[in-house]
Each structure stands twice: as C-alpha cells, then as structure tokens.
C-alpha cells in the first residue's frame, strides 16, 4: 500500500483541529502541521495527537502550503486546512486509490463549504473542486497570497474522486468577516503588484461586481439569508481590498514625486 503525507496549515484553531486530524486517521502515514504562531492551544493539541509541528509566520497561503509540502517524507501529499474535515465518502475514495496504487499524479474532489453551520450549495461555493492530493514530484503550489492552487507539469490532468471535503468556514458572521478582512489585505497586495491604475470609483465598482457575481451569477439568492450575507461580505471584502490598494498606490506615487524633487 502506498504512503500519504498530510499537511495542515493552522492558526488559532484549537476548537476545530482535532476533528480535522481525526478525519485523517487511516489515510495519512504522517501529518505535518505548519502553525503560524498560534496563541491558543492549537500547536499543543497537534503535538498531543502525534503530528509533527513546525511554526512559521504566514506571509501568504501559496508559499505556506509549498513550505509544508517541502517538509513531507512521501511523494503523495494530501493538503488540508485546520477547519476542514475529510468526509467518510471521500475517505473511502482515498483509501481505495491508496490500496490499488496511485494511477494518477493528482486527484481533485468537491469541497462543501459551511457558513454558520449551514451547507452552501451556491455562491460559487459548490462543488468548489480542489486539487489536494498530488504527487509532489510533478506539482507545486503557486505562490499566490490568496487563491493558491496546485500547478502540474504539462500533460498532467487530475482525476476526480467521489466524496466531499467539508469546510467549516465560520461559526458566526463576525468570524467570516474577520477572515474576509485578512484575505482583503492579501488581495490588495496582488492588485498593487498587477499594476492597476485605480480611480476613486473603482473600489465601489469592484465591490458591486463581486456582489453581483456571487448573488446573481452564482445564484447566491438560492441560499437564502446565508447567500445574501455571503454576497454582501464579498462586496465589502472587494471594496476594502481596492480601497487599500488605491491608498497604497497614492502613497507610492507621492513618495516617487518627493524623490524626484
């Protein structure tokens, strides 16, 4: 039977981390945790549960995932987050390919996202296909701060497995808003790096585009109140990111003008 290394990124996840680790029992032959200096009991729980724990400051999700991958012992890596759980159906699928031997260089599966305890089937949140099981000899994570993903060498196509990974995004709207605010900071850096010229109106335009995409195009209205809340927070997240990017752009321009004088 082939071996699998599992990796988990953590930060202050003491309430969720044990469920994540328990769902990996029987699948993973080692569990590598990269913790961003949690101030709660996350690292302690991981060590108690037999995980190998390394602490490293989070500078971006893509780089952090790639770092975690670099610490693994086996070619095939299963990457999960601390707020994710492998469902029984997905566990059976992974165990089957593990027993039979890996016929593909990568595997993808659906992710079912939960908002305040409710499964979300729209808003672009499902099936939300994720490549999370892959042969690290043929793939790397991109280094994006957000929206990170596995990049394969040419000619490699991942195989889809049955079953979902369950993603418990938040217990409260405030928790989700805090997560979106953090992502907005990373997105602002990417907007600046891409060299956009940002007008005063652009943050509002981008915010409305994000709301319309989530609520209308991705049918968030079919998820009821939860879909409305998610769509509104998408608006605010995009608004914050583009406003922050514009402020930074103006500061850079002002500094450049000062240096020319």
- Looking at the chain, which residues constitute the CATH 3.90.550.10 domain(s)? 5-170
Closest CA to 73 of 29, 19, 20, 139: 29
Which residues is 167 bridged to in the sheet?
84, 113
Cis peptide before 122 (omega within 30 of 0): no
Domain 5-170: top CATH class: alpha beta
Question: Does the predicted model carry a pTM greater than 0.85?
Answer: yes
Closest CA to 64 of 186, 191, 244, 194: 186
Per-residue pLDDT of the chain (261 residues; tens, 9 = 90+): 899 999 999 999 999 999 999 999 999 999 999 999 999 999 999 999 999 999 999 989 999 999 999 999 999 999 999 999 999 999 999 999 999 999 999 999 999 999 999 999 999 999 999 999 999 999 999 988 888 999 998 889 999 999 999 999 999 999 999 989 989 999 999 999 999 999 999 999 999 999 999 999 999 999 999 999 999 999 999 999 999 999 999 998 877 766 666
């Amino acid at each position: 039977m082939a071996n699998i290394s599992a990796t988990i990124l953590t930060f202050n996840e003491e309430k969720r981390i044990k469920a994540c680790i328990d769902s990996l029992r029987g699948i993973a032959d080692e569990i590598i945790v990269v913790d961003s200096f949690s101030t709660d009991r996350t690292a302690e729980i991981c060590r108690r549960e037999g995980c190998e724990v390394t602490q490293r400051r989070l500078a971006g999700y893509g780089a952090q995932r790639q770092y975690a991958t670099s610490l693994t012992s086996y070619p095939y890596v299963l990457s999960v987050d601390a707020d994710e759980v492998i469902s029984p159906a997905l566990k059976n699928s992974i165990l089957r390919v593990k027993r039979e031997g890996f016929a593909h260089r990568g595997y993808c599966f659906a992710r079912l996202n939960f908002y305040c305890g409710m499964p979300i089937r729209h808003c672009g949140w499902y099936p939300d296909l994720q490549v999370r099981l892959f042969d690290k000899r043929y793939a790397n994570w991109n280094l994006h701060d957000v929206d990170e993903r596995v990049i394969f060498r040419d000619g490699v196509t991942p195989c889809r497995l049955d079953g979902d990974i369950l993603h418990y995004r938040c217990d409260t709207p405030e928790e989700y808003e805090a997560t979106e605010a953090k992502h907005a900071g990373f997105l602002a850096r990417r907007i600046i790096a891409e060299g956009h010229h940002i007008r005063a109106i652009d943050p509002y335009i981008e915010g409305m585009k994000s709301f319309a995409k989530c609520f209308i195009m991705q049918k968030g209205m079919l998820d009821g109140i939860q879909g409305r809340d998610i769509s509104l927070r998408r608006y605010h997240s995009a608004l914050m990111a583009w406003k922050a990017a514009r402020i930074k752009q103006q500061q850079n321009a002002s500094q450049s003008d000062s240096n020319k004088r």
